[in-house]
Amino acid sequence: MADVMDIMGLDDFEQENTAMDDINSETINLVCTLIDESGSMGGNIQEMNYNQSSFKDALANSKEADEMLVAKGTFSNSNVVIGGYKKIEEFDTTYKASGMTPLYDAIIIGAEKLVSYRTYLKDQGMNVKAVFAVFSDGEDTSSRNSLSEARRFVENLNSLEIPTAFIAFGNSAINEATNLKFKSILKIDSNTPDPASALRHAFDVLSKSTIKSVSVVGNNVSDDLFTM
């Protein structure tokens, strides 16, 4: 896949993401969150809205908030939308659910955008760390790309020492996360009598793990983000 900057051009690339003139720190923490909006999550829309708001508040209230840029990605049917890296107050907490699951496509596009922006910031002399996190409740059902292609992108993130985290809501998602070679997998039982509580737990762990990861000095991050 071609580099995002080659496709968009520098001006478009800076417009989509936070421009250098708007960054007030020499250290930047990039957080990519990819969220499954497929139809199987339709019964959890209200909880997903609430939990995304809680996730946003947790990051915004952390001492690292001023050094954090967050991109939210969503995926359903053949539609993958990855937002630019923006300040946490711009994080969109709305949620909808319909259609199938293009998980592999979302991982490839999200990883490519993360590495492109990370490289750009590093080229400007910035100290950059990153976290790549996916939330899904099932296996891929609609991607144009294959498991092996998506796994290659995850393995590249691992080689760059970017923590790769997968919040797996159900057994199908656990199998996908394992096959994709994510370093950190948080297993959430989708058959629990209280799925709302399970979702709250998932996002609580994700926010705490993200904050811990970006607060670590250097690259001394545990292989398993969820057991730091």
Task: Give the integer Cα–Cα distance in Å for 222 and 131.
Answer: 12
Residue 2 pLDDT = 54
Give the H or E element holding residue 74. strand 68-76
Instruction: DSSP for 140-205, please give it.
Output: --S-SS-HHHHHHHHHHHHHTT--EEEEEESHHHHHHHHHTT-SEEEEE-TTSS-HHHHHHHHHHH
Per DSSP, the three-state class of 98 is coil
Which segments of the chain have a pLDDT < 50?
none
Tokens of 131: 């976290």
Tell me the per-residue pLDDT of 129-166, one tens digit each, with 9 for 90 and over: 999 999 999 899 999 999 999 999 999 999 999 999 99
Residue 225 pLDDT = 80
pTM as predicted: 0.91
Q: Would you kindly state where each structural domain of the chain is located, as residue ranges? A: 29-214
Task: Give the integer Cα–Cα distance in Å for 90 and 221.
Answer: 27
CA distances from 125 to 58, 142, 162, 198, 200 (A): 28, 39, 18, 41, 38
Q: Amino acid identity of 146? A: S
Give the H or E element holding residue 109. helix 103-123
39: which DSSP letter?
A: G
Tokens of 82: 């990855």
Distance, CA of 179 to chain centre: 18
Tokens of 24: 């007030």
Whether 174 contacts 185, CB under 8 Å: yes
Residue 217 pLDDT = 59
> Span 29-214: which CATH code?
3.40.50.410
Task: Give the integer Cα–Cα distance in Å for 221 and 227.
Answer: 10
Residue 158 pLDDT = 95
Residue 227 pLDDT = 74
Residue 67 pLDDT = 94
Residue 213 pLDDT = 83
Per DSSP, the three-state class of 82 is strand
Which of 153, 205, 226, 172 lies closest to 38 in space, CA to CA?
172
Q: What is the 3-state secondary structure (H, E, C) of 50-71?
A: HHHHHHHHHHHCCCCHHHEEEE
